[in-house]
Amino acid sequence: MWKWFHQLASPPHFFRLASVLIPWLAWPGYALIAYGTFAGLFVAPPDYQQSDAFRIIYVHVPAAYLSMMAYMIMAIAGGIGLIWRMKLAHAVAASAAPIGASFTFLALASGSVWGRPMWGTWWEWGDPRLMSELLMLFLYIGYMALRSAIDDTTKADKASAVLALVGAVNVPVIHYSVEWWSSLHQGATLIREGGPAMDAAMLYPLLANILGFSLVFGALLLRRVRSEVLRREGRTRWVRELVLAPGDSA
Amino acid sequence: MKPRQQRMLAVGLAVAGLAVAAALTLKAFRENMMFFVSVSDVVAGNYPSERNFRVGGLVLDGSIEREEGSLDVRFVVTDLRCELPVMYTGVLPDLFREGQGVVAHGRMRSDVFVADEVLAKHDENYMAPEVAESMASHVEEQTATLRENGADCEVAG
3-state helix/strand/coil string of chain A:
CCHHHHHHHCHHHHHHHHHHHHHHHHHHHHHHHHHHHHHHHHHCCCECCCEHHHHHHHHHHHHHHHHHHHHHHHHHHHHHHHHHCCHHHHHHHHHHHHHHHHHHHHHHHHHHHHHHHHCCCCCCCCCHHHHHHHHHHHHHHHHHHHHHHCCCHHHHHHHHHHHHHHHCCHHHHHHHHHHHCCCCCCCCCCCCCCCCCECHHHHHHHHHHHHHHHHHHHHHHHHHHHHHHHHHCCCCHHHHHHHHCCCCCC
B73: three-class secondary structure by DSSP:
strand
The secondary structure of residue B151, as a DSSP letter, is: G
- A83-100 pLDDT, tens digit per residue, is 988 899 999 999 999 999
- Interface contact flag, A168 B15, Cβ < 8 Å: yes
Mutation to test the A interface, candidates B26, B71, B96, B124, most A Cβ within 10 Å? B124
B-proximal residues of A, 229-248, CB under 8 Å: none
Query: Residue-wise pLDDT tens for chain B (157 aa)?
Result: 788 888 889 889 988 998 898 888 887 777 666 788 888 888 888 888 788 888 988 898 888 988 888 889 999 998 888 889 999 998 888 888 888 889 999 988 888 999 999 998 877 788 777 776 666 555 555 555 555 655 577 776 6
| pLDDT for the residue numbered B143 | 56
B56, B118, B126 member nearest A189 (Cβ): B126
Nearest CA in chain A to B92: A120
Task: Report chain A residues whose CB lies below 8 A from the CB of B118.
Answer: 120
Per-residue pLDDT, A76: 96
Per-residue pLDDT, B110: 82
Name the residue facing B95 among A50, A166, A173 (closest C-beta).
A50
State residue A133's pLDDT score.
95
pLDDT over 70 at A240, yes or no: yes
CA distance A218 to chain B (A): 26
Are the beta carbons of B117 and B106 closer than 8 angstroms? yes
What would you measure as the largest C-alpha separation in chain A, in angstroms?
A: 62
- Which neighbouring-strand residues pair with B86? B75, B113
Region B37-152: CATH code:
2.40.50.140
Q: For A32-64, how does the pLDDT look when each residue is reduced to its tens digit (9 = 90+)?
A: 999 999 999 999 988 888 888 889 999 999 999
* Residue A250, pLDDT score: 47
pLDDT surpasses 90 at A110: yes
A contacts of B115 (beta carbons < 8 Å): none
Phi, psi dihedral angles at B74 (to 5 degrees): -120, 140
pTM of the model: 0.87
Q: Could you report how far apart the first and last alpha carbons of chain A are, in Å?
A: 29
Helix A57-84 with A200-232: angle, nearest 10 deg? 40
Q: What percent of chain A has pLDDT over 70?
A: 98
**Cα–Cα distance for residue pair A141/A105, rounded to 1 Å:** 11
pLDDT digits (tens, 9 = 90+) for A151-197: 999 999 999 999 999 999 999 999 988 888 878 888 888 888 777 88
